[in-house]
Structure 1
Amino acid sequence: MFLDFQQIKQEVAIEDSATMLGLVLKRHGEQLRGKCPACESSERALVITPSKGAFYCHEAKKGGDLIALVSHIKNLGMREAAGAIAHHFKLVPASGPAASKGGKEKETPAPCQGFQPLGYLQHAHEAVQALGLAAEAAQSLGIGYAPKGLMRGRVVFPLYRDGLLVGYVGYGDDGLKLPKNLTADAATETVAADKP
């Protein structure tokens, strides 16, 4: 199975992965803090910053994204951690060239291999209706409000290239937000099209 790390990070928020792990965290300002079950540490050793999509364990002196968090807590390799997240959240793997020498799959995903549509988008949300889109039209176009993930709090529009979903552009109070996996050149070449 080809695991697209970028797809996982786009579709799953770090706080959702913390819930998946059963972490007990308390909010302190913009951060979530709690005990690290992997280190059996103090009640504030594990810190998650949702706005940055990052964590840090003061006991182990390790940090990173949601895949690294699952890797640390479950004592898994990065690939196994990504697989656990994809399995838990029922993410369908992107298709793409995966085989390398020895029949093993590449761990680093190639950009723009095609993503699966975000299943959690809210098509009837008031922010979508404020743009003049009926829920049925928004659903058929794949447009909706994102309650989680990197585009959380925005109305997102799918971006397609050569029939593949390559990401989403998010519209909010602060303007447009492009996904990190698209360069300025890729964004100008990307056009909206019907779903494949």
Structure 2
Amino acid sequence: MPYIDFTDLKGSVGIESVLGMLDIRLRKTGDQLRGRCPIHNGGNDREFVVTPAKGLYYCFGGCGGGDSIKLVAMVQGCELKDAAAFIAERSGFASGPDSSGQKRNGTTLPVTVDGSPQPQPERRTLKPLDYLQYTDAVAALGISEETCKHFGAGYAPKGIMRGRLAIPIHDRDGTLIAYCGRTVKGESPTLIFP
């Protein structure tokens, strides 16, 4: 199996295209898509949500969430590398040592027919959750208010992290790329990575 750069793949093939590959039909609700969960074949037509702008999905019925590659893996019951290969094959995506490309910062860039680098999409940045709070439930976890402020963490009273301690995750450059949610009341799963 040729090498597939997951980041390049997700940047090139949107989650809406992946929904089409899996024949998943959802209805548009604002800037999200909603419907029954294709992973556990749920009965609630609002339990599964896809946010195309973020390239993420989440199932409120207990399946959790993730990106388009994880969605394929969960729906088809396969490993992430096989899910990535499924997306790449159906979209015509090529990446890695077996494809022609130029390197920038150690990653292979897709090229046009004449060999010049294809324009790359702007890197999306995540906005900090400005509504996070320091609560007694967070304090009960042994985390001080100062620590929460320092890391930008806190209790999320709304949104996809609702009812959890939202912990920001940054890349090596310090760019906010995700939030991890940790339960404050012992729910399962303990951690979520939507």
- TM-score bin, normalised by smaller chain: 0.5 to 0.7
Matched, 1:16 2:17: yes
Shift of 1:50: 0.7
Matched, 1:116 2:110: yes
Do the aligned residues in 2 keep the contact of 1:23 with 1:34 (CA within 8 Å)?
A: no
2:96 is aligned with what amino acid? A
Q: Which residue of 1 aligns with 2:92?
A: 90
Aligned pairs (5 A) from 1:1-196: 1-41=2-42, 42-95=44-97, 112-117=106-111, 158=119, 168=120, 170=121, 177-178=122-123
Which of 1 and 2 has higher RCO (CA within 8 Å, sep 6+)? 1
Do the aligned residues in 1 keep the contact of 2:95 with 2:108 (CA within 8 Å)?
A: no
Do the aligned residues in 2 keep the contact of 1:48 with 1:55 (CA within 8 Å)?
A: yes
Q: Quick one: distance in 2 between partners of 1:43 and 1:16?
A: 21
Do the aligned residues in 1 keep the contact of 2:39 with 2:63 (CA within 8 Å)?
A: no
1:14 is aligned with what amino acid? I
Do the aligned residues in 2 keep the contact of 1:55 with 1:69 (CA within 8 Å)?
A: yes
Closer, same or farther: CA 91–115 of 1 in aligned 2, 3 Å: same
Do the aligned residues in 1 keep the contact of 2:40 with 2:63 (CA within 8 Å)?
A: no
Do the aligned residues in 2 keep the contact of 1:36 with 1:73 (CA within 8 Å)?
A: no
Q: Quick one: distance in 2 between partners of 1:75 and 1:183?
A: 34
Can you give the 5+ residue segments of structure 1 that lack an aligned partner in the other structure? 97-110, 119-138, 144-156, 159-167, 171-176, 185-196
Between structures 1 and 2, the one with greater helix share: 1
Helix, strand or coil for the counterpart of 1:114? strand
Closer, same or farther: CA 33–142 of 1 in aligned 2, 3 Å: farther
Shift of 1:29: 0.9
Give the TM-score, by structure 2 length: 0.54
Shift of 1:13: 0.5
Give the TM-score, by structure 1 length: 0.53
How many residues align? The count is: 122
Q: Quick one: distance in 1 between partners of 2:19 and 2:50?
A: 9
Identity %: 29
Can you give the 5+ residue segments of structure 2 that lack an aligned partner in the other structure? 99-104, 126-170, 175-194
1:38 is aligned with what amino acid? I
Q: Quick one: distance in 1 between partners of 2:89 and 2:17?
A: 14
2:33 is aligned with what amino acid? L
Q: Quick one: distance in 1 between partners of 2:4 and 2:10?
A: 11
Q: Quick one: distance in 2 between partners of 1:8 and 1:93?
A: 8
Closer, same or farther: CA 114–61 of 1 in aligned 2, 3 Å: same
C-alpha distance after superposition, 1:58-112 (max 9, x if no partner): 223311111111111111111111111011111123218xxxxxxxxxxxxxx63
